[in-house]
Chains A and B, each alone.
Chain A
Amino acid sequence: MKHPAQVIIRPLITEKGTMLRFNQNQYLFEVAGDATKIDIKNALKTLYGVDVLQVRTMWVKPKPRRFGAARRMGYTRKWKKAIVSIRPDQTIEDFNL
């Protein structure tokens, strides 16, 4: 089994994520590409001690990017995002900066 810190790569703090957090007690994370929903649930339990109600994941698609003056085209990396619902009476400290 993967170590929890290898599953959860970083918490995502964005405008949209802040809204979700306040309104639905949902949290956003970047997670490892091979992490399953179960992995994420377990990892959060170990890392933050919270009970996860639901995990939804998605691949964020690579976006085309131009590099340098030579106008070489490339893409940003693809990464996996997880939207996690937590039990309403719990919070994750990392987000309360």
Chain B
Amino acid sequence: MEAIVQQLDPVTIQISIEVDAETTQKAINQAIRQLGKTARVPGFRPGHAPLAQLRQMIPNEWIMQTAKEILIEDTLFRVLDSHQILPYRMPKVDIEQFQEGEPFRYKATVPLRPKVELGEYRDLRFPVPPQEASEEEVQQVLESAREQMKRLERTSDRPAQTEDHVVVQIRSLEQEDAKPSRYRVVLGNSFGELDNALAGMREEETKQLTLNFPESFDDPELAGKMVNVELTVQQIYAPIYPEIDDELANKYGYQNLAQMREILSQRIVQEKQTRLTDQAREAALATLRERSNVQLPEALIEEQLREEIDEFKRDLLENRVTPEMFLQQTGMSQEQLIQQLRERGITRLQNTFILLEIAEREGIQVSPEEVEAVINDMAQNYARTPQERIRLREDKAFHERIANELRIEKALQKLEAIIQNDSGGNPDE
């Protein structure tokens, strides 16, 4: 076996391996034997048929696939071991030559752990000043609360005006026997021409005019057409808004209006605070990304891209949009979208590894008990069967992942503490 190890970039290694023909043949025979353990050949007990017979019985692709796996397992990992290369993800293998009686040649691209040159982060300051809720903001929320509690009342003694709900009968005059249909229209919310026509009409009043129906109109017969119609207003309902007073507060579950205002203003402050803190954190990470140099292996980026695409599809699905519809609506090409998701993925990976590096520098530790607690919690809440619960508790890789996530979370908290510290000094001092 010959192996050439090449450093493609700081986080990627390429290994070219050539296995001689004899070893290749041995691996092929081994593959046949392995596959033949369970093969039923007439005239032989399972596992007892000679190679030549098995060779005929087992599809060639299976044999070659298994032989390939045997060879790679055998050679690639030996090279990785002897060069003390620690792959961060499964190496990607490109076969260059694989035929019986010929040497087996392949290239393996091995992604290494991302390298982070962390920029200075202890002097980052994005303080969020204490927030207040203004009188207008509270009032706005109260108004919308009032809006939600409005009720409709039949109003026969005045003409229709904006915000009224009007039941109107529309009959097309284009055809003699066209059936009239009834619509419920909120004045000011349908299309302009109809709104204008209805405003000022009284109940039982009738009007003939030409309307230009928009494409989005409910009735497909009328949508997108210029139609001569007859409108008859049948009923008018006026919205009645409740007063902003203790009674309204009661309906929302508060004791009185003063308490409602108090709680609403607290909530507004909290929302603002959260939003600004999120923004500050984003800004800090963005600066840190610029100051740092994070090198990511391509394999990791691709893996992340797949996750981003999945996530994106899930999001669309929740909104009942297909990816095709999304592309059509935004006028984006598929390549552009993938490029965008790729960039988002890279940003996320960079954040992750920057935060892990910070955790490292700050000596942030995650104790096994903390991991245990999270996993127990998950086992309680998400595992459906006892077996699943046991698997969750025993899966070492899963423990490692949770520990990493906790570490990132703690690093993020640390970073937040640093950027919120407006005294300018080291927050530890």
Q: Which residues of A contact B (CB under 8 A)?
A: 12-15, 17-18, 96-97
In the complex formed, the residue of A with least CB distance to B50 is A18
- Report whether over half of chain A's contact residues are helix, strand or loop; otherwise say mixed: loop
User: Does B62 sit within 8 A of A, measured CB to CB?
Assistant: no
Q: By the criterion CB–CB under 8 Å, are B55 and A15 in contact?
A: no
A-B residue pair count with CB separations less than 8 angstroms = 18
B191 to chain A, nearest CB (A): 73
Within 8 A of A (CB), among B50-64: 50, 52-53, 55-56
- Write 18 A-B pairs (CB below 8 A) sorted by A numbering: A12-B43, A13-B43, A13-B53, A14-B43, A14-B44, A15-B43, A15-B44, A15-B45, A15-B48, A15-B49, A17-B43, A18-B44, A18-B50, A96-B52, A97-B52, A97-B53, A97-B55, A97-B56
Q: Interface code B14-53, partner A: CB below 8 Å = 1, 0 otherwise? A: 0000000000000000000000000000011100111011
| Whole-angstrom CA separation of A18 from B49 in the bound complex | 9
| Whole-angstrom CA separation of A97 from B55 in the bound complex | 9
For chain B, the bracket of interface size reads 10 to 19
In the complex formed, the residue of A with least CB distance to B48 is A15
| Whole-angstrom CA separation of A94 from B45 in the bound complex | 21
A16 to chain B, nearest CB (A): 8
Q: Which residues of A contact B53 (CB under 8 A)?
A: 13, 97
A13 to chain B, nearest CB (A): 6
B87 to chain A, nearest CB (A): 42
In the complex formed, the residue of A with least CB distance to B45 is A15
| Whole-angstrom CA separation of A22 from B38 in the bound complex | 23
Q: Given A13-B43, A15-B45, 9 more contacts at CB 8 Å? A: A12-B43, A14-B43, A14-B44, A15-B44, A15-B48, A15-B49, A18-B50, A97-B53, A97-B56
| Whole-angstrom CA separation of A12 from B44 in the bound complex | 11
In the complex formed, the residue of B with least CB distance to A95 is B52
A15 to chain B, nearest CB (A): 4
